Amino acid sequence: MLIIGITGGTGSGKTTVVEQIVEELPPDEVCVISQDSYYHDTSHLSLDNRTKINFDHPQAIDFDLLVSHLRELKKGNSFEQPVYSFVEHNRTGETITTSPKKVIIVEGILIFTHPEIREMFDIKIFVHADSDERLIRRLKRDITTRGRDINEVLARYQNTLKPMHLQFIEPTKEFADIIIPTNKYNTVAVDLIRTIIHQKLNHIES
Ligand SMILES: Nc1ncnc2c1ncn2[C@@H]1O[C@H](COP(=O)(O)OP(=O)(O)O)[C@@H](O)[C@H]1O
Ligand SMILES: O=c1ccn([C@@H]2O[C@H](COP(=O)(O)O)[C@@H](O)[C@H]2O)c(=O)[nH]1
């Protein structure tokens, strides 16, 4: 089993890179775990109060659950990955059965802030796009797919995303084995990562 951690700021292109890696691997050989699935259950709060949560601080993440699920995978066991709704700012109550595969990809903005999780990764990748690129992408995405308006996204960016990025996410770049520049689509880097994955899998199997 090869466990790959992929981090980077919001809008850097993590999900896109993961999709590009996954599309080339046989579906029965890879599974993806998103840190977003591990936002704390906040069913006890009203929607209004949930919108006030700082989702870019490590305390927003149920790391204990993520660690326990990764341990289960390493032991060869399946687990139930929660499904998260960005519109409701909460888990939906549904889960996806996630089973051990040859390649496990874990992606999310804060996954390298947790020492035990960091230790579990065989390859650590940081996806880097400049902050203006990330803001533009975040604006477009949150308005079209996450039900936000322009003022909400800009206020959140200034008050939360930018300071949290500088305090918690950018410093984890030092833990990365590979940094992918993604101001543009970077097919060369994705090809290199695919090659590394195949080499490591061949090494494990031989
Ligand atoms: N290299 C890129 N160049 C231009 N747009 C990109 C690039 N990578 C991702 N995008 C777009 O930016 C948005 C955010 O990308 P996404 O992969 O969801 O980022 P993340 O998962 O890091 O938040 C998406 O709409 C995606 O299509
Ligand atoms: O309910 C929520 C939970 C999180 N967010 C924002 O999502 C991003 C992380 O996802 P990316 O795909 O890496 O962008 C984070 O910056 C949170 O602010 C949210 O808007 N609502």
pLDDT in tens, 170-200: 999 999 999 999 999 999 999 999 999 999 8
pLDDT in tens, 137-151: 999 999 999 889 999
Say if CB 110 and CB 58 are below 8 A apart.
Answer: yes
**Is 182 close to ligand 1, i.e. is its CB under 6 Å away?**
yes
**Is 84 close to ligand 2, i.e. is its CB under 6 Å away?**
no
- pLDDT of 201 reads 86
Rounded (5°) CA angle 127-128-130: 155
Give the Cα separation of 69 and 34 in Å (integer): 12
Say if CB 54 and CB 164 are below 8 A apart.
Answer: yes
Q: Which amino acid is at 115?
A: P
Give distance in angstroms: CA of 77 to centre of ligand 2.
28
Asked whether the CA dihedral 43, 109, 80, 121 is positive or negative, the reply is negative
Q: How many domains does the chain have?
A: 1
**90-98 vs 79-85, strand pairing mode:** antiparallel
Which structural domain, as residue segments, surrounds residue 89? 2-205
ipTM of the assembly?
0.98
Give distance in angstroms: CA of 10 to centre of ligand 1.
9
Best of 7, 137, 141, 184 for a ligand 1 pocket test (most atoms within 8 Å of beta carbon): 137
Question: Residue 172 maps to which CATH number?
Answer: 3.40.50.300
- pLDDT of 203 reads 85
Mean pLDDT (whole number) for 56-75: 98
**30-34 vs 103-107, strand pairing mode:** parallel
Instruction: For residue 39, give the 3-state DSSP assignment.
Output: strand
DSSP string covering 115-137, please?
HHHHHH-SEEEEEE--HHHHHHH
Q: Which amino acid is at 45?
A: L
Q: What is the pTM of this model?
A: 0.97
Give distance in angstroms: CA of 202 to centre of ligand 1.
31
Across the chain, mean pLDDT equals 96
Best of 6, 15, 16, 153 for a ligand 1 pocket test (most atoms within 8 Å of beta carbon): 16
**Residues contacting residue 107 through CB under 8 Å, at least 6 positions apart:** 5, 6, 7, 14, 15, 18, 32, 33, 34, 35
